[in-house]
Amino acid sequence: AQSVTQLDSHVSVSEGTPVLLRCNYSSSYSPSLFWYVQHPNKGLQLLLKYTSAATLVKGINGFEAEFKKSETSFHLTKPSAHMSDAAEYFCVVSDPGYNKLIFGAGTRLAVHP
Amino acid sequence: GAVVSQHPSWVICKSGTSVKIECRSLDFQATTMFWYRQFPKQSLMLMATSNEGSKATYEQGVEKDKFLINHASLTLSTLTVTSAHPEDSSFYICSVPSAGTYEQYFGPGTRLTVT
């Protein structure tokens, strides 16, 4: 069975400093992994996705994530946080064959001036 | 990415009444759509898979008689919350899968408040 663990429920950074949101997954298959962002009262937006191509995935708004099979991790990073990055971030794994998405619990990112 | 709309964006109803939420795929036809529920400050939980032309598939613990799903056409799925109660108050989100990938396109969500 697939599962996702987001290691931090809250992360707080200062504007201009790096962001690291941690995600570990469990999968019996070669997984497809995603990061989605949800701003308050807004729909989910796809940041980036890994689907067995390059292990370093670049997404929108300067975010990137690295798939590390040996560590079963897919951490999200950004070199320099912006105030507009404050939101809820979800790490997601896809259940192959059934097209189902399994969401992590989410990490709330706060960015301080 | 595909555009997915939901209507209404928010609704308030009285306990015991029923509420219908629409999910539309505006860019392409979808034989499958997904319905999620998100309680405040929590993650999304898949409720059911809506299948065009056949019955919906419900996740364990989701009452199919309470959450009626109708996939009326290749671009429209509806979720009806019957005999709503305050504990049904939540954010309901639909999604449409991308053909050939495991990506899904999400609607903006519908916030339901049952008083």
B112 or A28, higher pLDDT: B112
For residues B109, B110, B111, B115, the Cα torsion angle rounded to the nearest 10 degrees is: -160
Q: How many CB atoms lie within 10 A of CB A113?
A: 6
DSSP-derived 3-state class of residue B86: helix
pLDDT of residue A19: 98
- B83: its two tokens: 């005999």
Nearest to A103 among B44, B49, B101 (CB): B44
Tally A–B CB contacts below 8 A.
46
Element (H, E) at B44: strand B44-51
Contact state of A100 with B34 under an 8 Å Cβ cutoff: yes
For the segment B25-42, the average pLDDT, to the nearest whole number, is: 89
Question: How would you label B78-108 residue by residue, b for 16+ Cβ within 10 Å and e otherwise?
Answer: bbebeebeeebbbbbbbbbbbeeebbbbbbb
pLDDT surpassing 70 at residue A1: yes
* A110 Cβ under 8 Å from any chain B Cβ: no
Cβ neighbours of B1 in A, within 8 Å? 46
For B56, other C-beta atoms within 10 Å of its C-beta total 21
Instruction: Please name the helix (run of DSSP H) or strand (run of DSSP E) that holds residue A32, with its range, or none.
Output: none
Which region among A61-65, A98-102, B75-79 has the lowest average model confidence (pLDDT)?
A: A98-102
Pairing between β-strand B10-13 and β-strand B110-114 as defined by DSSP bridges: parallel
Mean pLDDT computed over every residue of chain B: 92
Cis peptide leading into residue A79 (ω within 30°): no
- Which tokens is A80 given? 């320099």
Contact flag B42-A44 (C-beta cutoff 8 Å): no
CB contact under 8 A, B1 and A99: no
Q: What is the pLDDT of residues B68-92, one digit of tens each?
A: 999 989 999 999 999 999 999 999 9
Provide mean pLDDT across the span A67-86: 96
Mutate to test the interface with A, among B102, B111, B113 (most CBs of A within 10 A): B102
What is the pLDDT confidence band of residue A78, given thresholds at 50, 70 and 90?
A: very high
Segment 37-96 of chain B within 8 Å of chain A by CB: 42-46, 49, 93, 95
Cα–Cα distance between B107 and A7 in angstroms, integer? 27
Q: What pLDDT does residue B89 have?
A: 96
Mutation target to probe the A interface, by most A beta carbons within 10 A, among B6, B26, B44 is B44
- Return the ∠ at Cα A63 (arms to B33 and A79), rounded to 5°: 160
Contact indicator for B33, B94 with CB cutoff of 8 Å: yes
Contact status of A86 with chain B (Cβ, < 8 Å): no
**Is the Cα dihedral A84, A103, B40, B66 positive or negative?**
positive
Q: What pLDDT is stored for residue B1 in this prediction? A: 62
